[in-house]
Amino acid sequence: MVSVSLIDYIGQMEDGVAVILSLLLEDITYEMVYWFNPSDDFRIIIEDKFYEHYPDVKNLNEYKYLVHLLYHIDTEVLPSRDEIFKEFLWTE
């Protein structure tokens, strides 16, 4: 079973927005921070416990299901990026 939940908005960081997410994977919960900006740059960081359970993964960017995970987060967990950017990013 895989499930992702939005825990909280960190808010604006640099030129993007960061959120705290919870990932439930095989009955274990991991906390993640997901940062993204309007230029489609992103960073995703997961707690060290994930790497202990998946020792073949040295960096979350190497996780074979990362594309699927990001798609799920962006389309089903979070509101649209436009809504998030309107609320958290300064525009002139």
Stated pTM of the model: 0.89
Q: What is the pLDDT of residues 50-80, one digit of tens each?
A: 999 999 999 998 889 999 999 999 999 999 9
Q: Which domain holds residue 17?
A: 2-88
C-alpha dist (Å) from residue 87 to 26, 31, 45: 34, 23, 23
Q: Please list the alpha-helical segments (H only) found in 37-91.
A: 48-53, 66-72, 81-88
Does residue 92 surpass a pLDDT of 60? Answer: no
pLDDT per position as a tens digit, 10-34: 999 989 999 999 999 999 999 999 9
pLDDT category of residue 2 using cuts at 50, 70 and 90: confident
As for how many domains the chain has, the answer is 1
